[in-house]
Amino acid sequence: MIPLVLPPGNDRGRPVDQTHRIAILGASGYTGAELVRLIATHPRMAIRALTADRKAGQCMGEVFPHLRHLDLPRLSTIAELDLDGIDLAFCALPHATSQEVIAALPRDLKVVDLSADFRLRDPAVYARWYGHEHMALDLQAEAVYGLTEFYREAIRGARLVAGTGCNAATGMYAILPLLQAGVIDPDEIVIDLATGVSGAGRSPKEGMLHSEVSEGYHAYNVAKHRHLAEFDQEFSRAAGRKVEVTFAPHLLPQNRGILATIYVRGEAGAIHGALAQTYADEPFLVVLPLGESPATRHVRGSNFVHLGVIPDRRPGRTIVFSALDNLTKGSSGQALQNANLMLGLPETMGLMAPPLFP
């Protein structure tokens, strides 16, 4: 097996102190596997614990054969998890599971949660959208929203970071700068978004079968998708007033990638300028030349976001595009970017690999 890349060790072969020991809870899902893939070449992180209750005792290479070349710890149950010496834990567990698990973790352990459990600041809003009361209100109040480019300083000092929804991140990267700059009408935002099937997770579902998804394209959860709660929260904060958008997600017959096509009232030149200015120094945000639109195949497997702006044929209206990989920048890559900040590491470390193409 090929060992994970580590900095030079001391004379006993142990990693130097600067190597941060990592645990991944829920490693048998797509986001858990993506975390392993990314951390495998990270020069300052080493995976020391992996959990997957239903697959406990197995090797990661048995669950994900594409990772069999890595020397990784065996999967264990959360009850068996040894957190001694662990610096940070990624929690890639299902929604409504994370809050109870994280509440039981040591208070000095840094945590990046990839579920929806800590994304919403208002407990009443959480209960309305997710259908049950929150079970860890003290942690919910402590959690920092994980949209890195907009909450960077708070994330740097956080103990618990709540990763965004992948659809939510795709829309917010396009719209937040425009609301902050006041170059669009907050009451006329329509987000038409298409996402790959891996966003639904790895658990068997009839609607995710190849024969159900391939050769087709359909909308789902229209006007009731839970990521609407994140849009409401963050767009209203950016605009300084209540903002509610129209959002229609669609399922793409492909594994990875999200493309949002967003219709707004505003001048294309001002919109493009606001995006370019906001992201001028951001390593992962690429604003295409005015008139160009992005494609999911150009960000696949990467932590990059491509944004495009095209004037509509009607004066005063503009179409804005946003493309990212739902498993990387939309989830696990974003989580690693936040973990880098929390551990005092360069934000881009382990994340600058170019997209996979073709």
Catalytic positions: 166
Distance CA(55)–CA(256), nearest Å, equals 24
C-beta separation of 25 from 77 below 8 A: no
H or E element in which residue 150 lies: helix 148-156
Of residues 217, 207, 129, 137, the one with CA closest to residue 165: 129
What are the strands, taking DSSP E only, across the chain?
20-25, 45-51, 75-76, 88-91, 110-113, 144-145, 160-162, 189-195, 218-219, 246-251, 258-265, 285-287, 305-311, 317-324
**Spatial contact of 170 and 324, defined as CB atoms under 8 Å apart:** yes
Rounded to the nearest 10 degrees, how much is the dihedral formed by the CA atoms of 49, 337, 108, 58?
-10
Buried b (16+ CB within 10 A) or exposed e, 126-137: beebbeeebebe
Contact 233, 120 (CB under 8 A): yes
Note the Cα 96 to chain centre separation in Å: 17
Whether 118 and 162 have beta carbons less than 8 Å apart is answered as yes
Q: d(Cα 348, Cα 358) in Å, to the nearest integer? A: 24
Furthest CA-CA distance within the chain: 69
Cβ contacts of 5-10, under 8 Å, gap ≥ 24: 5/40, 5/41, 5/42, 5/43, 6/43, 6/46, 7/43, 7/44
Round to whole Å and give the CA distance between 24 and 31.
Answer: 10
